[in-house]
Amino acid sequence: MQALKIIIQGNVQGVGYRRWFEQQAQELQLTGYVKNLDNGDVEAEIIGEEMQIQEILKRSLVGPLRAQVTKIERIPFDPAEREYTHFQMIR
């Protein structure tokens, strides 16, 4: 099991990025959350198998149609520190 906090930068708010990310994470059976940050970035914590994590990172660089991702910052953490049972979008 791997765990990663990611910060997605670019034109990622107001374009359906969180909803899209939530759908991708659920499809890949990841747990965690996605939320908007006050500075215009999107933050997500994801927990899952390495292949699932790599796949969502790949998809996240593209994002939904109107998004323009410029950078994804990756911050690993210990999955034992969190107890997510599903993936959710935080409003």
Q: Which residues are catalytic?
A: 18, 36
Whether 16 contacts 58, CB under 8 Å: no
CB-based contact 47:54 (threshold 8 Å): no
Q: How far is CA 30 from the centre of its chain?
A: 10
Assess contact for 76 and 3: CB atoms under 8 A.
Answer: yes
